[in-house]
A = this chain, B = another copy of it.
Amino acid sequence: MSTEPCTPSSASGLADACAAALGRLRTTTPLVHSITNHVASGFTANVLLALGASPAMVDVIGESGPFAGIASGVLVNLGTPSGDYPAAMREAAQAADAAGTPWVLDPVAVGSLPVRTPLAAELVELRPRIVRGNASEIIAVAGAGAGGRGVDASASVDAAADAALALARRTGGVVAVSGPVDLITDGRAVVRVSGGTELLTRVTGAGCALGAVMAAFAGTPAPGLVTASATTADGEAGAVVSGVPGSALIAAVASSVAYAVASERAAARAGGPGTFATFFLDELAALQTGDLSDAARIVIAA
């Protein structure tokens, strides 16, 4: 067991690292602070709960920052940046950056919309550990295009590869492009994860919840870290896990593989998008760590 997370150089090594990450997620129950849009917030919380993480949506000015400091991971999703949202997002991203809490930016529909587009440009400077979006959104955030028509992906994943690499080098983090084959890069390695099902595009918030899952995996401690015992104010014993979070690349790949496996199993017995969404939650909860060791769906390019 290594003490410093790094990127396995083989697909099977990466798959094994993903499996181990799921095991640690289940043990540590990372607290995922999600500032996300009201369309996807319920499903996002259910996805996190099904997988084994603990969701909290604290999108209140004055609370969002302090909460980001104690969360295991943070998601900032730009889906509905109205009212207090932008200020709460800035707070959370700044606090996460200051505290070293890994945070994920999901630049929903960024491109030409005049509130979220400059907001994304501002937030991306706060070193998101992972930026997750569809191809159009990643191209837009990277400054390489004018984006899509909204929340749809009109550009292809491969068309966003250069933008993803450039953006990852700029943030020093990982960029994940969602599509029929997901592309994930830390600016050096390019990992492609295949699988999943088209039904994921028929469930609102499925992509948004994937960003939250990435925040959960990114907030899962790296292997070999100390687990300290603590006593709470009211006398109960509890466990506090601290230490540097795991590799963002492994976190993004593990999320993508978990989604692929669970969604395929759900699709195999679903009668349509309604039952699919329901079964998908069941399958996320039923995932075994070994289910993520399947290297067949992972391809690593130099």
Residues in A lying within 8 Å of B, measured CB to CB: 31, 37-43, 45-46, 49-50, 54-63, 66-67, 70, 79-85, 88, 109, 112-116, 136, 139, 144-146, 148-152, 154-156, 159, 201-205, 232-236, 238, 270-275, 277-286
Contacts and interface: CB of A to CB of B under 8 A. Distances in A.
Given A39-B57, A49-B202, 5 more contacts: A37-B57, A56-B150, A70-B150, A82-B83, A155-B232
Contact of A62 (B114, B236, B284): B114
Contacts of A236: 154-156, 159
A276 to B, nearest CB: 8
B234 A155 contact: yes
Contacts of A56: 109, 150-151
Contacts of A205: 42, 45
Contacts of A238: 154
26 contacts: A31-B149, A31-B152, A38-B38, A38-B57, A39-B41, A40-B42, A45-B204, A46-B204, A46-B277, A49-B204, A49-B273, A50-B274, A54-B151, A55-B151, A58-B113, A58-B150, A60-B82, A63-B113, A63-B114, A82-B83, A83-B84, A139-B234, A159-B235, A202-B285, A272-B284, A274-B278
A274 B57 contact: no
Most central of A57, A66, A151, A234 by chain B CB within 10 Å:
A234
A102 to B, nearest CB: 18
A160 to B, nearest CB: 8
Contacts of A281: 272-275, 277
Contact of A277 (B70, B152, B271, B274): B274
A232 B154 contact: yes
A285 B267 CA distance: 14
B80 A82 contact: no
A286 B274 contact: no
B202 A50 contact: yes
A262 B256 CA distance: 33
A62 B273 contact: no
Contacts of A201: 49
Q: What 3 pairs between A and B have smallest CB-CB spacing?
A: A272-B282, A274-B281, A45-B204
Contacts of A60: 80-82, 113, 115-116
Contacts of A278: 274-275, 277-278
Contacts of A84: 82-83
Contacts of A203: 46, 49
A289 B137 CA distance: 34
